Chain A
Amino acid sequence: MLKYLLKRVLIALPVILGVTIIMYTMISLMPGDIVDLMVEPNLSQQAKDQRRHELGLDRPVPIQYARWLGRSVQGDLGYSFVNSQPVSKRIGQRVGPTLLLSLTALGIAYLVAIPVGVVSATKQYSVWDYGSSVLALVGVSIPGFFLGIGLIYIFALKLHVLPVSGMRSLGVETTVDLIRHLVMPAVVLSVGTMGAVTRYTRSSMLDVVRQDYIRTARAKGVKERGVVYKHALRNALLPVITLLGLQLPNLLAGAIITESVFNWPGMGRLVIEAISNRDYPVLMGTSLLTAVMVVAGGLLTDVLYSAADPRIRFS
């Protein structure tokens, strides 16, 4: 197992490296001189060159990248161009909210999707099944930002039951306040995943109930509830675990849009801000972290999978 994990990490490294190389190349190709954007425009050419040199921007791109990589592996992600804060600090402030949002969304999605998928499968071709299939497609089809705006309109502006946006009310530090702010963005972010997981659970369940061991269970007189929830569901959930890892990039991508709609102070908005400000160090830092998170998520999925299914032995 340990050996397998090591091997997986070794395979993952080039992927992370590849992502950062692509990002660095693209970023260095971005038009507009960052120094012009940073300092007052009437600065002398000499002062600008001086600044460029300080930032290391006068060197060839591969060298810049190598230096960035060298410092990054030591944990130094550089300083933000915008306010000279360390990148790690800026990202650190934003990781928490994004994780809170994504994990809540993931939780909501799975809590709703798995029961619905199971019922669809056990009552195949019923009104239930039909309805939930349609709803699952609705979930993956509705644009997150449109749903978000719609929810804001209904629950915040018309019914006044939830706050419009942000993560906390000014000067309020209670958990209840945080949850009230969290509800709408988490629901919006969860909808797409919910649709996908529902469909996946359903088809996985349909596969399992045709297996011999289910027939055996029925034959020896296990009640229908026991068959479905003990014998079938546990086996049907195995492939659903795989989906967990696959959904992670989608969730992080969805977070960018959801955070923009709800002014959620997470990494997604940081990315957008960094792009509009040409804040390369922050952009590289968030890309690196995202890649690491996605790879780690995939790894975690594999470990979970082997823990849940003893038949799987890694070698």
Chain B
Amino acid sequence: MSGAVDMRPSNEPTPPNEPKPSTEPKPAPNQAENSDQVKHNVLRRFLRHKLAVTGFVLLALLVLLAVFAPYVAPHDPNFVDPVSMDDSPSRLHPFGLDTVGRDVLSRVIVASRISLSVGVVAVGIYVIIGSVLGSLAGYFGGVLDVLLTRVCDTVLSFPQIVLIIVIVGVIGPSIWNIMVVLGLLGWPQIFRIVRGQFLSLREQDFVQAGRAMGARDGRLIFRHVLPNSMGPILVAATFGTASAILTEAALSYLGLGVQPPQASWGNLLIQAQSITVIEQQPWLWVPPGMLIFVSVLAINFVGDGLRDALDPRLKL
């Protein structure tokens, strides 16, 4: 999120403490500096958080792995070698071959693309929905607010995975459907954050000033109030990505997510539903399981660091 370019200086996470000379039409140089200062402090606090930096580096490596997956994978992930199926790890196949004779290492590498992108796309969808609905509810209030809050409570009060499983049962399991369903059901938490921000900010002086200057609702919402919620939204989105990856993995493990032969970390673990595989071929289920764990952990570390860096007082 870049700061607002024209008219007003950007309102980065910390709400302005001192009243601004709000009649000033152009960003005063010292305020631009302040904004830079805020960003600098956020960055410094993030970098001081060792876990967050570790998480970030791990995550960067995983993203690189995902982006360059086809070049990194030593074999064709879908090539079936019927002769050597179930082979244990060897120099040629470091993680062995699966039950139909595909190279496990290659499948795990290619799966990283699917698993990571499901998380990012799903969260992208619900951040947009949650922000828009939360802004509308918090800014306009009234019946709309009551109605949206009620819907939000309904969605939150039910174990989502049941709903997701049923919806996937209706529209059929596939990677796109998982993304969309997770995206459509995840908005309430963002909604609550954004709505709360609007409730506490909409009567603040800088919003009143904007209104007095004749700014329309849309401008007040998207230029003046919403940017103040960017910090909490970013933190929630980071944690949300981690949990979306976990949900996709669980669904795929149950056979209700990404469908084979397309590989995702979750559906690679389907093979581990057999006790024989668990006992005799740990190389089939340990690598994908570890990758889910490590990537989710890395994202949670980053989220933790972001939260501390953006607002040290914020809890949970």
Contact = CB atoms under 8 A, between A and B. Distances in A.
Contacts of A298: 157
Contact of A287 (B153, B157, B162, B170): B162
B289 A149 contact: yes
B316 interface: yes
A177 to B, nearest CB: 19
A22 B285 contact: no
Given A143-B250, A272-B165, A291 B296 contact: no
Contacts, number: 129
A1 B236 CA distance: 35
Contacts of B301: 137
Contacts of B159: 249-250, 252-253, 256, 290, 294
Contact of A143 (B166, B167, B293): B293
A145 interface: yes
Contacts of B279: 153, 157
Contacts of B235: none
Given A19-B158, A199-B316, A257-B253, A137 B163 contact: no
A146 B289 contact: yes
12 contacts: A15-B154, A27-B170, A29-B170, A30-B170, A143-B266, A149-B285, A150-B289, A153-B279, A249-B160, A253-B160, A256-B161, A294-B157
A260 B289 CA distance: 16
Interface of A: 14-15, 18-19, 22-23, 26-27, 29-31, 133-134, 137-138, 140-146, 149-150, 152-153, 157, 164, 199-200, 203, 207, 249-250, 252-253, 256-257, 260, 271-272, 275, 283, 286-287, 290-291, 294-295, 298
A19 B162 CA distance: 11
B216 interface: no
A288 to B, nearest CB: 11
Given A143-B292, A290-B162, 17 more contacts: A15-B157, A19-B157, A27-B170, A137-B300, A138-B297, A141-B293, A141-B297, A143-B249, A143-B293, A152-B275, A153-B279, A153-B282, A203-B316, A257-B253, A272-B165, A275-B169, A294-B158
A137 B161 contact: no
B136 interface: no
Nearest to B294: A141
Interface of B is mostly: helix
A146 B269 CA distance: 8
B172 interface: yes
B251 to A, nearest CB: 9
A31 B177 CA distance: 15
B144 interface: no
A146 B292 contact: yes
A157 B154 contact: no
B257 to A, nearest CB: 12
Interface of B: 51, 150-151, 153-154, 156-163, 165-167, 169-170, 172, 242, 246, 249-250, 253-254, 266, 269, 272, 275, 278-279, 282, 285, 289-290, 292-293, 296-297, 300-301, 304, 315-316
A229 to B, nearest CB: 22
B166 A27 contact: yes
Contact of B293 (A142, A253, A271, A286): A142
A283 B297 contact: no
Given A137-B304, A149-B289, A275-B165, A144 B250 contact: yes
A256 B162 contact: yes
B296 A141 contact: yes
Q: Which 7 residue pairs are nearest across A and B when measured between Cβ atoms?
A: A146-B289, A253-B159, A141-B297, A141-B296, A253-B161, A18-B154, A249-B159
B272 A149 contact: yes
B105 to A, nearest CB: 18
A12 to B, nearest CB: 8
A26 B166 contact: yes
B265 to A, nearest CB: 9
B195 to A, nearest CB: 18
A271 B162 contact: yes
A144 B160 CA distance: 16
A294 B156 CA distance: 10
A205 to B, nearest CB: 12
Given A137-B301, A157-B275, A291-B158, A31 B254 contact: no
A203 B297 CA distance: 20
A156 to B, nearest CB: 9
Q: Which of B166, B253, B275, B289 has the most CB of A within 10 A?
A: B166
Contacts of A143: 246, 249-250, 253, 266, 289, 292-293, 296
Contacts of A252: 159, 162
